[in-house]
Amino acid sequence: MSHDPNCIFCKIAEGKIPSKKVYEDEEILAFHDIHPWAPVHFLLIPKEHVTSMAHVEDKHAAMLGRLMSLVPKLAKQEGCRPYPEGGFRLVCNTGDDGGQEVPHLHFHVIGGPRPWLKG
C-alpha cells in the first residue's frame, strides 16, 4: 500500500495526526471534517495514497465499492435523517478546477437539517 510522507491524509491514516474517527478498517478511514459545513460532515478516504478520482484504476474497484457501501450506514450513524425526508450529499472534488484542496482521494458526506453553512 502506497503512502505519501508529505500528505496530510496519509499522516491521519497512519495515526501521526489525530482525528475524530467515524470508522476504520484495513483499507478505509472515515473521520470528521475539521471545518464542517453542516451538522453532519465527515470524510471517507482510502488508506492507500490515491491522489484523486482522476488517478483511480481498475485495482481500486473493490475498495471503492466497499467505501460507497459504507456511506449510507455511516451517514445514518452520524445523524443524517432517513431517506427521503432526510438524506445527505456525497462530494468528491477532483483537481484544481474541481475544487480539490488535499491531493488524496476523499469523499465528503454532508447532511443534517438545513440550512448549512455552504451548499
Q: Which amino acid is residue 67, in one-letter code?
A: L
Tell me, yes or no, if 35 is annotated catalytic.
no
Q: In what order do the strands lie in the sheet with 28-32?
A: 21-24, 28-32, 40-46, 107-111, 88-91
Using only the alpha carbons of the chain, give its radius of gyration: 14
In whole angstroms, give the CA distance from residue 34 to residue 41: 9
| CB burial of residue 51 (10 Å; 0-12, 13-18, 19+) | middle
Q: Which one of 41, 104, 106, 108 is the catalytic residue?
A: 106
Active-site residue set: 106
